[in-house]
């Protein structure tokens, strides 16, 4: 058996373990974001949405739908990796991997696969729930899938960095609460940035989540505040930066080796 | 080629504490080797470096000739590690913990199934394979870690206090199991606080103290340096005074039926028994006051000359 085949077995093992982890506790990992988004659809879409009227030439519920799906993908993929990685550190079973002959990149890819799987599972579940509130035709399914995949990858990477530095369970929730949620809400889920004063439009452009939500919205509806040729490269640049950071942290053993 | 070769290994922690001060150690292939030392001596740091959980400051570690830094994958694949603390996911079923570890080492699932069935049966955990690890008793958890460490058939098994907190009956069955593993060719490095365990199991020994190896020899030659041994004799008759014994015996009266005697290396127990018998005293039972290795260990750590012969 070649070394590459051994790495493949190790990758499949970590990925399967990560997917099993969140699948076993689906009531905690899949159901809550679905309920939250269903409430958003009900309140902001059906109840308040009708009074708001149209946004970017479409009904308000259709406008917010891609952003809400994206929000659940972001929070789920991030939460999966940060909680799994920190949990493994906390109960020391991360050592099972660290003593094994697995390159760090395989460990990283295994955790990322878990994060992506949860992000996409929740995204799919939320999309199905959306169908109960509105009907829609997907403008570009390939783009929708690509953006969902890249976004869940990006936030899985971010979750791993958080997991590396976390020294308590409080640290696991600080970034999602104080950074991720505000950036997501201000990333154009509920509004088009064209509605903002010019200065706030420019400030919004430094929010990376804006690019993801708009790319995703373009894939679903064919409308976006941001040019896709700008949005996609920005997402990819962020992925490259975070991937490099993750590899650096794992190779240096920061937070996991003494 | 050595199973383990350590050259000038140093570890200084961020707070400036020097846990290892340039130790050298060689463990022969197939050996059953004891690495002993008091708490805080540097054992755990040394094992942490071997298991790649602690980064060394300097020095060289080779596992079956593979440098742990330059040929990390080859070196790691030869090691099986049983740590002191439980380090598995307590919410995972036993069988899954073993299977995952096999997967991390790149063992195909068919082999993992075969191996895990064998080791779980050998260690009495087969019927617990579907239980979550948190539902196991302390002794079962220790055995689970041994089964997990063996799943990829390591050539070097490092056991860091594998029998801590395990009752004597189970400890003995674990000793038997470890002996079998060693007989099949696996090199074993054992750290333990049960010195009786080390004395019975290990052929060679290193004692580490304050970051230095202070003794590295065969168990037989170390035990032969013991200058005197203390025995406790339980007498059938009662005595009120210490019996007069010729020779270099040092006799103490513990109670009216119990004597404690330091027997020098050049004297025989037989000579003592004959003298006691000559005074009309019959010996009901006798035992070593403490384990021989324990006596040596304490004297080495306390830096005493006696009872160790130089």
Q: What is the ipTM of this complex?
A: 0.89
Q: What 3 state SS string does chain B have?
A: CEEEEEEEEEEECCCCCEEEEEEEEEEECCCEEEEECCCCCCHHHHHHHHCCCCCCCEEEEEECCEECCCCHHHHHHCEEEECCCCCCCCCCEHHHHHHHHHHHCCCCHHHHHHHHHHHHHHCCCHHHCCCEHHHCCHHHHHHHHHHHHHCCCCCEEEEECCCCCCCHHHHHHHHHHHHHHHHCCCEEEEECCCHHHHHHHCCEEEEEECCEEEEEEEHHHHHCCECEEEEEEEECCCCCCCCCCCCCCEEEEEECCEEEEEEECCCCHHHHHHHHHHCCCCEEEEEECCCHHHHHHHHHHCCCCCCECC
Cα separation values, B3 from B6, B166, B177, B188, Å: 10, 28, 20, 9
Domain positions in chain A are 3-252
Per-residue b/e over A66-82, b at no fewer than 16 CB within 10 Å? bbbbbbbbbbbbbbbbb
- Tell me what the mean pLDDT of segment B59-72 comes to: 95
What does the pLDDT average to over B68-72? 93
Q: Which residue of B has its CA nearest to A11?
A: B104
Task: Tell me which chain B residues have a C-beta less than 8 angstroms from the C-beta of A99.
Answer: 51-53, 76, 79, 81
B155-194: burial string, b at 16+ Cβ within 10 Å, e else? bbbbbbbbbeebeeebbebbbebbeebbeeebbbbbbbeb
Local structure of A58: helix, strand or coil = strand
How would residue A31 be classed by pLDDT, with cut points 50, 70 and 90? very high
Q: What is the pLDDT of residue A89?
A: 94
Measured between CA atoms, how close is A95 to chain B, in angstroms?
Answer: 7
Q: pLDDT value at position B303?
A: 64
Percent of chain A residues topping a pLDDT of 90: 69
Structure-token pair, residue A159: 């979750």
Cα–Cα dist A107/A13, whole Å: 10
Alpha-carbon span B263 to B272, nearest angstrom:
9
Contact B107, A9 (CB under 8 A): yes
Q: How much of chain B exceeds pLDDT 90, in percent?
A: 58
pLDDT exceeds cutoff 70 at B296: yes
Between B77, B89, B108, which is nearest A101 by CB? B77
A227 contact B CB<8A: no
For CATH 3.40.50.300, the residue range(s) in chain B are 2-217
Instruction: Say what the pLDDT of residue A49 is.
Output: 79
Q: How far apart are CA B145 and CA B150, in angstroms?
A: 9
B300 with B214: CB under 8 angstroms? yes
pLDDT at B156: 96
Report pLDDT for A241. 97
pLDDT at B305 over 50: no
Q: CATH 3.30.70.1560 spans which residues of chain B?
A: 228-301
Are A99 and B81 a contacting pair at CB < 8 A?
Answer: yes
Residue B232, exposed/middle/buried by CB under 10 A (0-12, 13-18, 19+)? Answer: middle
Contact call for B52 and A257, based on CB within 8 A = yes
State how far residue B250 is from chain A, nearest Cα, in angstroms. Answer: 50
Residue of B nearest to A3 (CA): B106
Inspect the interface and report whether the beta carbons of B54 and A257 lie closer than 8 Å: yes
pLDDT band at residue B310 under the 50/70/90 scheme: very low
**pLDDT for the residue numbered B110:** 94
Close Cβ partners of B115 (under 8 Å, ≥ 6 residues apart) = B102, B107, B150, B151, B152, B153
Residues A163-199 pLDDT 10s: 999 999 999 989 998 999 899 889 888 888 888 888 9
**Residue bearing the bigger pLDDT, B39 or B188:** B188
**pLDDT at residue B291, rounded to an integer:** 65
Opening angle at CA A136, ends A132 and A140, nearest 5: 135
Whole-number pLDDT of residue A38: 92
B205-258 tens-digit pLDDT:
999 999 999 988 888 887 777 677 788 999 998 898 888 888 888 899 989 999
Q: Is the dihedral of CA A86, A88, A90, A92 positive or negative?
A: negative
Residues of chain A in contact with residue B63, where contact means CB-CB under 8 angstroms, are: none
Give residues with Cβ within 8 angstroms of A212, minimum separation 6. A70, A74, A147, A150, A151, A154, A187, A231, A235
Q: How many residues does this entry show for chain B?
A: 310
Segment holding A54, helix H or strand E: strand A54-55
**In B, which residues are within 8 Å of A6 by CB distance?**
105-106
pLDDT digits (tens, 9 = 90+) for A83-112: 999 999 999 999 999 999 999 999 999 999
Q: Which residues of A touch B99 (CB under 8 A)?
A: 13
A42 near B CB under 8 A: no
A9 touches chain B (CB under 8 A): yes
Architecture of domain B2-217 in CATH?
A: 3-Layer(aba) Sandwich (3.40)
Find which of A12, A95, A103, A253 to mutate to test the B interface (most B CBs within 10 Å of its CB): A95
Does residue A258 contact residue B13 with C-beta atoms inside 8 Å?
A: yes
> What is d(CA B70, CA B52) in angstroms, rounded to the nearest whole number?
13
**What average pLDDT score do residues B29-55 get?**
92
- Whether the pLDDT of residue A234 is over 50: the answer is yes
pTM, full prediction: 0.86
Q: For position B309, what pLDDT does the model report?
A: 44
Top pLDDT among A130 and B228 is at A130
Q: Count of CB atoms within 10 A of residue B54's CB?
A: 20
Report yes or no: B187 and B201 within 8 Å, Cβ to Cβ.
no
* pLDDT mean across residues, chain B: 89
Pairing of strands B32-36, B204-209: parallel
- Report yes or no: A11 and B103 within 8 Å, Cβ to Cβ: no
CA separation for the pair A214, A79 (Å, rounded): 22
Q: In this predicted structure, what is the pLDDT of residue B293?
A: 73
CATH code reported for the domain at B228-301:
3.30.70.1560
Q: Which residue has the tokens 């025995």?
A: B231
Structure tokens at B189: 């490095």
Structure tokens at A89: 């550190």
User: Cα distance from A252 to chain B (closest Cα, Å)?
Assistant: 9
Distance from CA of B69 to the nearest CA of A (A): 12
pLDDT-derived band at B199 (thresholds 50, 70, 90) equals: confident
Strand (E) or helix (H) holding A55: strand A54-55
Mean pLDDT throughout A45-50? 81
Binary contact (A101, B105; C-beta < 8 A): yes
| B277 burial via Cβ count (<10 Å: 0-12, 13-18, 19+) | exposed
* Pairwise CA distance, residues B249 & B271, whole Å: 10
Chain B residues touching residue A100 (CB < 8 angstroms): 76, 101, 104-105
pLDDT at B307: 44
Q: Phi, psi (5° rounding) for residue B224?
A: -70, -10
Q: Beta strands B258-264 and B212-218: pairing type?
A: unpaired
Give the mutation candidate from B44, B100, B133, B149 for the A interface (greatest A CB count, under 10 A). Answer: B100
């Amino acid at each position: 058996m070649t070394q590459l085949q051994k790495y493949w077995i190790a990758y499949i093992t970590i990925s399967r373990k990560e997917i099993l982890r969140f699948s076993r506790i689906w009531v905690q990992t899949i159901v809550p974001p679905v309920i939250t988004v269903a409430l958003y659809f009900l309140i902001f879409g059906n109840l308040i949405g009708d009074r708001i009227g149209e946004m970017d030439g479409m009904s308000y519920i259709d406008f917010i739908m891609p952003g809400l799906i994206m929000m659940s993908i972001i929070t789920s993929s991030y939460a999966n990796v940060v909680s799994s990685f920190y949990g493994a550190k906390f109960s020391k079973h991360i050592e099972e991997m660290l003593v094994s002959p697995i390159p760090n990149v395989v460990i990283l890819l295994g955790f990322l696969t878990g994060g992506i799987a949860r992000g996409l599972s929740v995204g799919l579940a939320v999309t199905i729930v959306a169908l109960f509130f509105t009907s829609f035709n997907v403008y570009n399914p390939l783009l929708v899938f690509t953006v969902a995949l890249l976004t869940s990858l990006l936030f899985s990477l971010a979750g791993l960095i958080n997991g590396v530095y976390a020294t308590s369970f409080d640290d696991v929730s600080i970034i999602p609460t104080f950074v991720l949620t505000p950036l997501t809400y201000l990333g154009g889920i509920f509004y088009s940035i064209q509605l903002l004063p010019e200065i706030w439009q420019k400030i919004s452009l430094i929010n990376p989540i804006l690019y993801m939500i708009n790319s995703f919205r373009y894939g679903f509806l064919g409308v976006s505040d941001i040019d896709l040729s700008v949005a996609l490269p920005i997402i990819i640049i962020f992925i490259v930066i975070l991937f490099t950071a993750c590899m650096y942290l794992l190779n240096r053993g920061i937070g996991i080796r003494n | 080629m050595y199973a383990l070769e350590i050259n000038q290994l140093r570890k200084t922690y961020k707070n400036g504490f020097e846990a290892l001060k340039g130790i050298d150690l060689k463990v022969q292939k197939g050996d059953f080797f004891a690495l002993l030392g008091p708490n805080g001596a540097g054992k755990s740091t040394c094992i942490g470096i071997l298991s790649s959980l602690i980064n060394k400051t300097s020095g060289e570690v080779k596992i079956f000739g593979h440098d742990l830094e330059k040929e990390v994958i080859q070196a790691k694949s030869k090691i099986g590690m049983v740590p002191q603390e439980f380090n598995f996911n307590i919410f995972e079923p036993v069988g899954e913990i073993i299977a995952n570890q096999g997967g991390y080492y790149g063992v195909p699932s068919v082999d993992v199934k075969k191996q895990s069935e064998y080791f779980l049966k050998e260690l009495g955990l087969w019927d617990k394979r579907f239980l979550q690890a948190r539902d196991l008793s302390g002794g079962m958890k220790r055995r689970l870690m041994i089964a997990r460490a063996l799943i990829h058939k390591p050539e070097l098994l490092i056991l860091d206090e594998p029998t801590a907190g395990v009752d004597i009956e189970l400890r003995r069955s674990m000793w038997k199991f470890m002996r079998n593993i060693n007989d099949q060719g696996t090199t074993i490095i054992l750290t333990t606080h049960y010195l009786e365990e080390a004395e019975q199991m290990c052929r060679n020994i290193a004692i580490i103290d304050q970051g230095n190896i202070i003794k590295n020899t065969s168990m037989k030659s170390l035990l032969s340096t013991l200058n005197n041994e203390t025995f406790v004799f339980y007498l059938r008759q009662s005595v009120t005074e210490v019996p007069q014994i010729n020779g270099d015996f040092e006799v103490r009266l513990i109670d009216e039926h119990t004597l404690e005697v330091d027997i020098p290396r050049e004297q025989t127990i037989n000579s003592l028994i004959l003298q006691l018998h000559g005074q009309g005293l019959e010996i009901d039972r006798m035992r070593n006051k403490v384990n021989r290795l324990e006596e040596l260990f304490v004297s080495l750590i306390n830096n005493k000359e006696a009872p160790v012969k130089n």
